[in-house]
Amino acid sequence: MSDFDFDLFVIGAGSGGVRASRIAASHGARVAVAEEHRVGGTCVIRGCVPKKLLVYGAHFAEDLKDARKFGWEVPDCRFDWDVLRDNVLAEVDRLEGLYGQTLDNHKVRVFKTRATVVAPQTVRLADGQELTAERILIATGGWPHVPDFPGSEHAITSNEVFHLETLPRRVVIAGGGYIANEFAGIFNEFGSKVTIVNRGDTILRGYDEQIRDRLLQISMTKGIDFKFNAPFEKIEKNDDGTLTIYLGGCEPIVADAVLVATGRVPNTKGLGLDEVGVDLDPTGAIRVDEHNQSSVPSIYGVGDVTNRIQLTPVAIREGQAFADSVFGGHPTVVDYANVPSAVFSHPPIGAVGMTEAEARNKLGSVRVYTSDFRAMKNVLAGRNERALYKMIVNAATDQVVGLHMIGPDAPEILQAAAIAVKAGLTKADFDATVALHPSMAEELVLLK
């Protein structure tokens, strides 16, 4: 028997931690996991899953209007935030139970409490109990970053937004990234007056310029207001419960809620990693090698806590690779090239590979193909909103090195198309594929 209480102790039961725990256990390891909040982590409890359910709910605002053009007699409908909120939270509860059941089925011991690292192979629970493990895996994810300014305590983050007692009539959203634009679309469709405030001059930094410009154009057409180069100065709470937001270079804005969506930072504060010699970068992220190992050989990190790519599927891949490498005798390294991503805005964005600017900087000679069109459904519905598909091709090899899309179901289409980019297929391969007609996806094989 081992001299340790466990072969593996995981801190954090989110997507990466749960995958690592159950795979390690399936390889025969004695595994424990500590979770101070709820099993399931950011994605399941307060991230992509409940957010996507809100996105589905928001889409009905336009779908119900469009249905009239398709012959349906749809009366004027009233949206009830309480019903959607409570149903979403009930689904989160159900999924949390399933995650816990998965760990139990694999005989992973779960400690529903905070754990910190007190030695390279020792953790301490909140009640003072200390446990030893041959290896410790940190999978505590990220946490919303709230800038420090007067009145910031009056703002909420993506952690609290799913629990709002009432739907705000006016909401100000700080930030220009995917979280800000997703919730802007959600609240706008629910009937709130939405203002996005960005301290810079660009939304969705890192996405292709044409695609993000198209989202900005459509969002403004839908009634979302944008304030650029407008840093927060302070928030004051008024006697009637409303908030007055003071911005640099802009007139004050009165709103019922302020959502701060200015990025996420690695959730390592207070874990004791510094004290045991784990090397952290300036953001607090654990520096790890390609095998997810930190500067302390017995301590590893996966997921957003390492600040490599902050995506749930990446955390899951890293957790799997860690468990297979360390406990399964199958050394595995995650390939971070051509990782697809999506923004569930209104309309949504899907992207994989290099943007046009990145490709020109790296490859020099590129060919760019675009299709700018109205989806068939939008045409009949009388909706002027246009989709944009963009393909980036290495001119020297004909290899497709980037796909970028905005339009209905773009992420669903992009997932399959990402396989082709990952496989290194060429523009000629796309051209040789017969179109599936009539569909939006067929535009990918008809680009000229």
The catalytic residues are 437
Residue 175 in marked binding region: yes
301 is in an annotated binding site: no
For residues 237 and 151, give the distance between their C-alpha atoms in angstroms, rounded to a whole number: 8
Sign of the Cα pseudo-torsion (414, 420, 426, 430, in order): negative
Using DSSP's 3-state secondary structure scheme, residue 292 falls into coil
177 has binding-site annotation: yes
Question: In 3D, which of 341, 340, 344, 347 has the Cα closest to residue 216?
Answer: 347
Check whether 319 is labelled as a binding-site residue.
no
On whether 99 is known to bind a ligand per the annotation, the reply is: no
Please indicate if the annotation marks 181 as binding a ligand. yes
The number of C-alpha atoms within 13 Å of 236 and in the hemisphere containing its C-beta is: 8
Residue 50: which of 182, 145, 169, 141 has the closest Cα? 182
Q: In the chain, count of helices (H) and strands (E)? A: 11, 21
| Residue from 438, 444, 434, 381 nearest 410 by CA | 444
3-state secondary structure of 178: helix
Q: What are phi and psi of 83, to 5 degrees?
A: -65, -50
d(CA 293, CA 302): 9
User: According to the annotation, is 290 in a ligand binding site?
Assistant: no
Rg of the Cα atoms in the chain = 24
Place of tokens 């090899």: 397
Q: Is 178 flagged in the annotation as binding?
A: yes
Spell out the alpha helix ranges (H) of 47-80. Answer: 48-69
Binding residue per annotation — 209? no
Q: Per the annotation, does 180 bind a ligand?
A: yes
One-letter amino acid for residue 237 of the chain: K
Residue given tokens 């890192």 in the structure block = 206
Q: What share of the chain is helix, strand, coil (3-state, %, to 5)?
A: 35, 25, 40
SS3 call for 59: helix
Residue 304 labelled as part of a binding site: yes
144: CB partners within 8 A, 6+ apart? 157, 158, 159, 260, 261, 262, 263, 264
Classify the phi-psi angles of 353: left when phi > 0, otherwise alpha if psi is within -120 to 50, otherwise beta: left
User: What sign has the CA pseudo-torsion 40, 313, 54, 155?
Assistant: positive
Q: Confirm if 328 and 27 have CB atoms less than 8 A apart.
A: yes
Annotated binding site for FAD: 52, 304
Going by the annotation, the residues of the binding site are 52, 175-182, 263, 304
Query: Residues within the annotated binding site for NAD(+)?
Result: 175-182, 263
